[in-house]
Structure 1
Amino acid sequence: MKYFAGNQALTTQYLQATVQTLRHDEQNHQEVFLQIVKNLCRGGSDCRHRVVQWYGQILGSNELRAKMSHMLRMTQQQAAESLDPMHSMLLKVQGQTSYGFTLNAFWSLLGLAEPIKMDKLSDLCYFFCLRGDAVAREVLGDLAKDAKLGNEASVSAAEKFCNAKGVLKAETKFPSEVFWLALKAVRVLFNPCMAEFTRILQKFQSVHDQGASPTSPEYRFLVAEILSWRTVILHPKFCSLYWHLVHLGLSWLLRAVYCFNLDGSCRLDEETLSVKPPRLATLVMQSCPPPLQVERQRAARANASGSQSPNHAANASQDVTTPPQFAALPSALVEDLFSSIRRMLELQSVYLSVRSSQGFEQPPIAAMDAELVASACIAVMTASDFFRNVHLRCDGACKTLYFMFLTEGVRDRLESIPVVQEHLVRALTEVFIASERGSYYDRITFRIPIVDLFQKLLVVDNYKEALHRLGSSSPEKFIHMIHLLLNDVSTLVDQAMSALTEIRKRQHEGRDHDEPPQPSATTEGAAAEAAAAAAGASPSRSSSSGTEDEEDEEEDDAGASLEGNAQLRRETWSRLEATTRDLCSLGFNACSLFSLYAKECGAYIIRSSSILPQAVTTLDCCLDHLVGPRCLQLKVNNMESYNFQPKKWLMKVLESYVYLLQADPEGGDSLVAEILKDGRYFQKETVNKAYRIAKREGLMNLKLLEKFQELVKRLSEGKEEDFEIDLDAFPVGSEAKVLADSS
C-alpha cells in the first residue's frame, strides 16, 4: 500500500510500472513458496498430512469471518471492517488472519490445485466429506456438518456404498485433499475477501459522491487501498488459477450428476463422452434434465397410468433419487462456487471502469469457460431431483447466469452457445415455477432476474423458437408459467398502485420524509417493523373513500384511507420509496414479459380455457388502475424517481390486448366475449379513454392502434347496443391527467 499512499502523482505510467513490478514480485514469491510446500509434501505421508492440516487450520480460523461476511451481505451492511482503526487488534483477539494473508493463502492453494487436469477428475474423491479421520476433520471443519445434496435415503445409500467398496478405509490421495481444501477456501477465504473489496469500493464511491477532494487524506487512502487490492485480485495468474479451480469444480459436479447410476456404477456412454472436447457441456446439451431424472419421470408417469399401491406416493420422497457420488456432497460447495463466480463477474465491471485509462490490465474473466459455466447453471436449474433447494436453483444458478448476461463481453458469447440456445428458456421456465415454493419475499426476489432474462432473450429468433418448442412439447409447463406470471402481474400492480397512493397521501400531508426515532420506541417494535419491511408491501388492493369522478375532489381521493394497507402506513418514508420503486419496476417488467408471451404464443393463451379468463381479468385490472376512475390517486410528484412510467405501462397492456386479438382463431370473438364477461374491472369508458390516450400520445404504431380501435368498437357494441362511440370527439380531460403529466 505504501507504493500508492505517498505524495507522488498517480499517473498512468507510474501506476503501470508499479503494479507490474509488484505483480512480478508477488508471482515470484508465490512460486518460491509453492515449491517449498511441494518439497515438504514429498517428505512422506506424515509430512504431507502436516501440510494439509496447517492449511486446514488456516481455513478453520477464517470460518467465523465467512459467517460474518454472509451476515453482512444478508443485512446489506456497507462498512468495510479493514478500514476500522481497531481492525488489527480485532484480528489478534479473534484469531483471524489479515485479508492480505488470506489472499496469499488462497493463491497458494490455487497453485497446488493447478496440476489437477480435467482428464483426472476420476481421481478426485466424492466421499471425502464422509471420512472421519483427523486429516479430513481438519480439512472440512464446519463443512462436514453442512446439509448434503442428496435426500436422507440417498445419503444413507452413499454410506452403504462406501462401506461396501472400502472407500473410507483407503488412504486419500493428495490431489483430493488439495482439491477439497481449495473448494473450502473459496468459501472461507476468497468470498469474504471479495466481499470486503466490494465494501471498500462502495465506501470510495460514497466519499467521491460527497465531493471529497482527490488530494484529501481519506480520498488518497482509499485510492491506495483499492490499488493494493487490485494488484492481487486482478493479477492475470491469480485469475487464471481461480478459473481453473472453478472449471474443475463444475466439471466434477456435472460428472457426479451425469456419469453415475443410482448404484454408483459408471454410465459408460456419458463417462466416455465427458473426456472429449467440449467435455461435460456436451452432456448437458444432449440431456437436460439429466438421464436419471428423465428415467425417473418416465417411470412415475408409467406408475400413474397403471396400478400402484396406496403407499407409493408417501414413499416417493424416501426413494434413492441420486447416485452416491452426488448425494454425499455438501450443498454449500455448489452455492459457494456460484457466489464466487458472481464476485468475479462484478470484478469485471471494476476492470471495465478503469480500462480506458489503465489499459495494461487484463480482464478477470479472460480465462473463463463461458460454455461450461452456463452449462452447469442450466443443469442445476433443470435437475430438480438432484438440486432440491429452490434457493440453490434460483438464487444460485439462475442469478449467476443473469450476472453473466449483464456483464459486458460475456453476453455475446452466451447467446451463441448451443446449450444456452437449446435449454435456457426451458430452464428459466422451470425455476420460475419452482420459485413458487419460496416465501413471498423470496419468490419476488427470485423472479426479478428470471423476468429480466426472458425480456432480453425473447427478442432473439433462436429463443423465440425455443419458446415455441416448449409450448409444443410441454404445454402444461408453459400454461403453468403463464398462470404464475399473471398472478404476479395482478398482485404487483395492486401493490404498486397502493404504494403510489400512500406516497401521494403523504406528500399532500407533508409527511414525505423520515420521522426521527421516538425515544419511547421499544426494541420489539423496531424489530417487528424491520421484519415487516423485509416482507414487502401488502398484497391487498387499496380502496378510496372519496369520490371518483370529480376533479375538484382530487385532494379527498389522495387522502382516502387505505383499507388493508396498514403495512404501507407503518413503513418509513425511505423504505416506502424503495418498496414503491421495486414494485413499479417489477410490475412493469412482468407486464412487459406477458406482452412478449402474448405476441409470440398468443394462440396457446387463447386456446386455454383457464388462462384466457385470467389474462383478460389481469389486463382489465391494469387498465382500470392506469386510466380508470381512480387514476388520479397515482399522480405523485416526480414519478420517474419511483420507476413509475404510466405511458409505457399502458402501452404494454394495450399491446397485449392486440396480440391476443390477432392470435384468436375465431377472429377475436373469444377475446371479446371473455372481456365482456368481466364484471369486476371492465368498463367501456375506461377502454375508450385508453384508446384516446394511445392515439394522442402515439403509444402504438398505426397498425396496432387500428387493431385496438377495432377491439374498442366491438366491445362497445357488445356491451350496450344503444351506445355509440365517437373516437375522435373526446377532449383532453382530467381523467387522463396522470398520463399527460408524465411526459
Structure 2
Amino acid sequence: MSGWVSAWLQGKSEGDEESKADGFQAGGNTLSDGAAPATADEIRRKRLQKLQEQQLAGQQAVSSNESTANPKDDVIMSNPDASSPQADKKQRIHALTAETYINDMLQRVLHVTLSPANSSAELLLLPQFLAQEEAQDVLLLSAANVSEVLYSRVIMNPADLPGGTHHPLAAVAYLEQVFYRCRDETQKLQSTFLRLPADKKQEAQESLNSIREMCLNYSATALTDPEIFPFEAGTINTDALEKIVRLQANPQTPEFVDGIVAVVEETGATLPIFAPIFQKLLSELFLIAPPSLMSSFYNNMYILTVLCRNKALATVFTQIPGFLLTPGPPMTGRRLQDATALGILLRFSCNQDPAIAQMFTNITKRTKNDVDNSILTIRNKLDSVQTAVADIITLLLKAGGSAREQVLAWLEQAMQVNAERAKENPDANITSTNGMFVNLTVVLLKLCGPFLAPNSKKAQLIKTAYLTTQNPLFPFDETRLVGSGAENAAPQLDDRQALSSSDFNFITRCYFITARAMHLGPVGMMGQYMRLLRQLSYFQSRMNAPDADPRLKAHFDQMATAKMVMDAELLHPDLLHEMIRFSLLTCGVVSSICTGSTAFDQSSLDLPLPAPDTETNALLKYIPEHLVDDLSSVLKFIARLQPKALAAFELKKLLRMILVFLSSPGYVHSPHLRAKMSEVLFHIFLPSEESEERETAGTAFGVELLRTDALAQRHLAPCLLALYGDVEHTGFYEKLEHRYNIACLLKYLWKLEGHKPAFLRISEDRENFVKFAHGLMNHINSLVTDALIALPEIKVLQEEMQDVARWMALDESVREQKQSLLSDKERTVTSSLQLANETIHMMSYLTSEIQEPFVKMPELEDRLVGMLNSVIVKLTGPRGVELKVNNPEQYKFRPKVMLKEIVETLLHFAQYPSFLEAVATNGFYDGPVFRKCAHIVARTQLLEPSDIPKFETFVVEVEKAAEGAANLEETLGEIPEEFLDPLVFTLMKDPVLLPSGYTMDRSCITQHLMNDQSDPFTRVPLTVDQLQPNTDLKTKIEQWVQEQQQKHAAK
C-alpha cells in the first residue's frame, strides 16, 4: 500500500506520511510491548501496517517472478529464433497479451477499470489513476497496484458509485462479491484450455489470493472500526453482513463469513458482530404466533444451522443474552420455552395450532386415506423442526468448551423448571407444551443414538454414580425404587454427594437427561392419550343412543381431532423406535446396578438376588422408581397401539430385568410396578392366540425367548404365582386386570414342557404357596359371587325392558336410571366372569398335578372345599334358574365350562379321605345339589366318558362321609366350651396359643392371618410363627372325644 493510502487512513497529508514512512516501517509493531491494553488508534495502526507489509511482500514477489522469468519455459512464447528483432517483437506481443489477461481478470473481479476506454456500467473508472495513465502508454491492473485500486474503490463516496446515495453498496457487500468472484476466476485459471505462461498463472493466482485476504481484512475493519471508512455511516456494514448471512445459507459454510470470523476472532470482536444477527433471527421466530408447524420458520433455522457449523460462531450463539433462562421469577417451563434461544426453536409443534386442527375437521366424515395423508404431512413438518434443532444442538456440542457446557446447562435447566410436568395433572400455564417436550425428547434420542445400539461399548461409559450426586435432574425427594416402607420414602434431607454434573462425561449426562425428558414428556402424554381413548369410547357409546344430545357430537369431534394430533406426534414410527432402544438400554443399566455386573454381562445371573444392602451398594437407594416405571409404560403403550414397532427387537435385556425384579421383590417395593411388569410380559411375550379377550403383540422374538430362556424356565412361573397374591394391594379394578394377565401367562407357561417343573417346585415352598393359593381361592369366591349376584338382577331388568308396554309407561328419567343400572351391572359381570373363567381354569390345571399341599395344610383344604362347594351350589342349586339371562356369552358367562372345571378339580382330590370328609362337613355342602350336579354332568357329557362314573362315585363317597360326620356329631353331643374355637365355634383339632393368651384352632387362625396379619381379639400384629401349640389342651380334646365314642358304643 502506498504512503498516501496510509496517510488517508490516519487522517494525515501525503507529505506528512512520506516524511515518516521510514520510521513507520522500521519500527515494526507500533503497539507497546507492555501489559497496557491497546487503544483503538493503535489497533487500527497495527492493521494498516499489516496490510502495508502484505502489499510490499506481494510487490516483491511479483518483481522476483519478473526478474527470473524465462520465456523459453512458456509454450506460447517459445521460439528457437528468439535473438532476432522479429522474435523480440513477438515476445513483447505475447507478454502484453498475458498482462492484458491479468488486467481483464482483475477488472472482472473488482468491477473497476483504469482505462477510460473500458469504462462501462459494469466497470467503474477510478479517476485518481488517470494522471498515471497519461504518463504511461497503457495503465493496466496488476499485482503491483491491485491493493491501491481495491482500497480506492472501497472508500469511494457513494455519490460516485452506480446507484448513488439512494442505493449505496456497503463496503462489506462489495468485498463479499469480490471475494467470490476471485473464487470463480481461480477456477478459470485451473482450466486446461487457458494458454497462459506458468509464471503469469502464478502471478494471477497470487493476485487473487491477495485480494481475497484484503477483502476479509477490510471487511473486518469495516465491521469493527467503521469510522475508518469515511462514507460508511450507521449500521450499513452490519446490515450488509446480516444480508450476506441470510443469502449465503447453503450446504457449505460460507467461506467469506468463515474468513471474517477468523480475522475478528483474534481481536475478540466475534460476539458483538454476530450476536445481533443471532438475536434477530431468533426474534423473528419468536414473533411467529402461534408457533405453527405450517409457518415459515425453516429458513431461519437453516441459517442458524449454517452459522453454527463454525465453532467460533457456535460459541457466540451460546453466549447471547437469553441463551439460558436468567434467574428470577417466574422460573417456569413456559418462560423457558418463550424466552430462551433453544426453547424458541423447539416450541414449533402441533399444540393449539388452528391450521393443524383444521386438517381434522368433520373427522367422522373423512376417509382413512385422507386422515393418514394429514398425519403424514404433520410428521414431515415435525421431522423438519426436529432435524434442524438436532443439527444445531449437535453443532453446539461439537464446538466443545463453554459451548458444550452451556447446552448441557440449558438441557438440565429445562428439566428443572418443568418439574411440574411430573404430576398427573400438571398446570399447563407454567409448563412447556407437550409439543415442545416431544421435540426435545426426539432431539435427545438422536444425541443418544451412538450408544443405543445393542452391546454398544459406548454405553458402558454411563456412570451410574451420577445418581448419588446432587444433580439437577432428579429431585432428592423423588420416589426411590429399592426399599420398603420408610426405607423408600423420600428423605427429609438431601444426603447425596455434592458433586457437579460437569464432573461426569457427556454420555452419562446425555443418558440421564434423556431419561428425565422421557418421564416429563412422552410418558406423561401416553397417560393422557389412554384417558382420551376411554373418553372417546364413552362419548361414542352415548352418541349412538336414540335421544343423544347433539352437543355430544361437537365434543366428540373436538376430542377426535386431539387424538389425531397426538397420533401424529406421539405415534411417530421414528420416535417409537428410538424410545424402544432407549428403554432396552435402561433395562441393562438398572439391572447392572442391582446385580453388580455390567449392563451386558448377565450370563451367570443367579436368582433370586440377595436382599438389597444399601450399605455395601449405596447406589441402590438412589435409583428413581420412574426409570423402571417409564420403560414399562413405554413398552406396554407401544405393544398395545403399535405392536409392529417391536417386531425387530431382541428382548433379552427386558426379560432379564423383569425376572430380576419379580424374583427379588425387595428391589422393587411397589406392587403396582411389579404388576406393570406382568403387563409388559402379557402384551409383548404372550402369543396373541393365548388371550381370548385382549390382543397381545406376541412378537416372534419375545415368544421364542419366553419359551426357551433357561432363566425364565426356572423362575418365571413361581414369580407370577407369587405376584398373583401381591396384586391384591393394587386396587379393586386394577387387581382384576393384573390377575387376568397373570392367569393367561400361567396358562400358557403350563403348556410349555420347559416351564412345568417350576410350577411343581413352588408347591414345596409352603409359605409362598399358601399365600398364592389363598389369594387364588379368595379371588374365585369374590368374582363368582359378584357375577352370580348381578346376573339375576340383569335378568329382571331385561325382562322388564322386553315388556314394551310397561317399559314405555315408565317415566323417562326412570328408564334412563334403569338403563344406566343395567349398563353398570353388565360391565361388572363381564369383567368378573372374564377373570373368573381364567382363575377357575388355573385352579383346575394346577390341581391336576399339585394336590398334596392342599390336603396336608388344613387351612388350604378347608378354603378349597368351601370355594368349590359354593360354586356348585350357585350353579346347580335351587336358584340356578335365576342365572339364565339373554345372550350369556355377551357377559362371558359359560356355566357348563365353569361347572366342568369345578368338577374336574374335585376329582383331582377324590383319592384323599380327608378331602372327602372336608367336602362333607363344609357348610356349603348340600347332598341333593351334588346328586343333581352328577345328573347334569352325565346328561350333558361335560366330562370325558371315563370320568363321569368317577364323579358319581365321588358323590356317593361324600354322602357316606357326611353321614359319618353327622353320626360323630351325634356321638359327641354337647361340646365343652373350652374345646370350641372361639371364632367359628367348632371342635378344635389342633389348638394353638396366641401371644394374647387366647387359644384357637390352627386352621382357623391361619386362614384369618392370610387376610389380616393381626390378633383377632386384640388387633395386635400377629404372624404364624408366633403361634404356640397347646399340647395339653389337644390331649384333653382327644381324650374327651375317645371317651364320648366309648360311651356311645356302650349304648
TM-score (norm 2): 0.49
| Alignment partner of 1:622 out of 871, 875, 885 | 871
Measure how far apart 1:246 and its partner are. Answer: 0.6
User: Are the counterparts in 1 of residues 790 and 829 from structure 2 also a CA contact under 8 Å?
Assistant: yes
Q: 1:397 aligns with which of 677, 695, 702?
A: 677
Partner of 1:354: none
1:331 matched residue in structure 2: 625
Alignment equivalent of 2:506, drawn from 174, 186, 206: 174
CA distance in 2, matches of 1:6, 1:44: 47
Q: Could you say if the C-alpha distance between residues 675 and 113 of structure 1 is closer, same or farther in structure 2, counting changes exceeding 3 Å? A: same
Q: Aligned partners of 1:203, 1:671: CA distance in 2, in Å?
A: 50
Query: What secondary structure sits across from 1:610 in the alignment?
Result: helix
Distance 2:920 2:520 in 1: 60
Kindly provide the amino acid, as one letter, of the partner of residue 107 in structure 1: V
1:605–1:611: 8 Å Cα contact kept in structure 2? yes
Q: Which amino acid aligns with 1:392?
A: L
> What letter corresponds to residue 440 of structure 2 in structure 1?
A
Q: 1:231 to 1:149 in 2, by over 3 A?
A: closer
Structure 1 match to 2:448:
113
Distance across 1 between alignment mates of 2:459 and 2:917: 61
Cα pair 1:322 1:385 within 8 Å, conserved: no
Alpha-carbon offset, residue 69 of structure 1: 5.3
CA contact under 8 A between 1:69 and 1:195: conserved in structure 2? no
Contact 1:239 1:367 in 2 (8 A): no
817, 834, 842: which one aligns with 1:593: 842
Change (3 A) 1:97 1:383: same
Matches within 5 A, 1:264-275: 270-271=597-598, 274-275=599-600
Counterpart residue type for residue 893 of structure 2: F
Tell me the CA shift for residue 603 of structure 1. 4.0
Q: Which amino acid aligns with 2:444?
A: L
2:720 maps to which of 428, 432, 449: 428
CA drift at 1:594: 0.8
Residue 704 to residue 348, structure 1, CA distance change in 2 (3 Å): farther
Given residue 592 of structure 2, which amino acid in structure 1 is its aligned partner?
A: R
Relative to 1, partners in 2 of residues 1:336 and 1:41: Cα closer, same or farther, differing over 3 Å?
same
1:454 lines up with 2:746 in the alignment: yes
Paired AA for residue 672 in structure 1: L
For the Cα contact (< 8 Å) 1:154–1:322, is it kept in 2? no
Aligned-pair CA distance for 1:201? 5.3
Counterpart position of 1:126: 464
Question: What are the superposed Cα offsets for residues 538-569 of structure 1, whole Å, 9 maximum, x if unpaired?
Answer: xxxxxxxxxxxxxxxxxxxxxxxxxxxxxxx9
Residue in 1 aligned with 2:522? 190
Displacement of 1:650 after TM fit?
1.0
Contact 1:129 1:144 in 2 (8 A): no
Deviating more after overlay: 506-515 vs 417-426: 506-515
Q: Mark the CA change 1:202 to 1:391 in structure 2 (over 3 Å): closer, same or farther.
A: closer
**Partner secondary structure for residue 596 of structure 1:** helix
Q: Which amino acid aligns with 1:705?
A: I
Within 2, Cα distance between the matches of 1:21 and 1:500?
A: 50
What does residue 653 of structure 2 align with? Answer: 372
Per the alignment, do residues 191 and 681 of structure 1 end up closer, same or farther by CA in structure 2, a change over 3 Å counting? same
Give distance in 2, aligned partners of 1:391 and 1:197. 20
Per mean C-alpha deviation after superposition, the further-off stretch among 573-582 and 384-393 is: 573-582
Q: Distance in 1 between matches of 2:714 and 2:807?
A: 49
2:479 touches 2:489 (CA, 8 Å); kept in 1?
A: no
Q: Tell me what 1:386 maps to.
A: 667
Identify if the C-alpha distance between structure 1 residues 229 and 508 changes in structure 2 by more than 3 Å, giving closer, same or farther.
Answer: closer
On the 8 A contact 1:432/1:450 being kept in 2, the answer is yes
In structure 2, distance between residues paired with 1:125 and 1:223: 44
The Cα of 1:320 is off from its aligned counterpart by 4.2
2:933 aligned with 1:690: yes
Q: 2:578 aligns with which of 219, 223, 241?
A: 241
Could you say which residue in structure 2 is the equivalent of 1:538?
A: none
Q: Distance in 2 between matches of 1:4 and 1:371?
A: 42
Q: Is the Cα contact below 8 Å between 2:478 and 2:490 reproduced in 1?
A: no
User: Could you say which residue in structure 1 is the equivalent of 2:1037?
Assistant: none
Q: Which moved more, 1:217-226 or 1:486-495?
A: 217-226
Higher relative contact order (CA 8 A, sep 6+): 1
Deviation at 1:107? 0.6
1:488 maps onto 2:779 in alignment: yes
CA-to-aligned-CA distance 1:159-185 (integer Å, 9 cap, x gap): 99965xx86687233222221221112
Structure 1 residue 345 displacement after superposition? 1.1
Aligned ranges for residues 36-435 of structure 1 at < 5 Å?
Answer: 36-44=392-400, 46-59=402-415, 63-68=419-424, 94-116=429-451, 118-132=456-470, 136-137=471-472, 139-140=473-474, 143-151=475-483, 163=497, 171-198=503-530, 229-259=566-596, 270-271=597-598, 274-275=599-600, 279-280=601-602, 282-283=603-604, 286-290=605-609, 292-293=610-611, 320=614, 323-348=617-642, 363-394=644-675, 396-404=676-684, 405=686, 406-410=695-699, 412-418=703-709, 419-435=711-727
Q: Highest CA radius of gyration, 1 or 2?
A: 2
- Cα separation, 1, equivalents of 2:879 and 2:595: 56
Determine if contact 1:584/1:644 at 8 Å carries over to the other structure.
yes
Contact 1:378 1:424 in 2 (8 A): yes
Contact 2:532 2:559 in 1 (8 A): yes
Q: Quote the offset at 1:674 in angstroms.
A: 2.7
Report the Cα distance in structure 2 between the residues aligned to 1:623 and 1:321, rounded to whole angstroms. 55
Partner of 2:942: 699
Gaps of 5+ in 1: 71-89, 260-269, 297-318, 350-362, 519-568, 722-743
Aligned AA for 2:512? Answer: W
TM-score by length of 1: 0.67
Deviation sequence 1:406-433 (CA, Å, 0-9, x none):
5234263343240333321011022223
Distance 2:511 2:904 in 1: 54
Matched-pair contact (CA < 8 Å) for 1:378–1:397:
no
Distance 1:369 1:689 in 2: 54
**SS at 1:630's partner residue?**
helix
CA positional deviation for 1:255: 0.5
Shift of 1:689: 1.0
> 2:614, 2:620 within 8 Å by CA — same for their partners in 1?
no
Q: Is the 8 A contact 1:464 1:600 kept in 2?
A: no
1:616 maps to a residue whose letter is: V
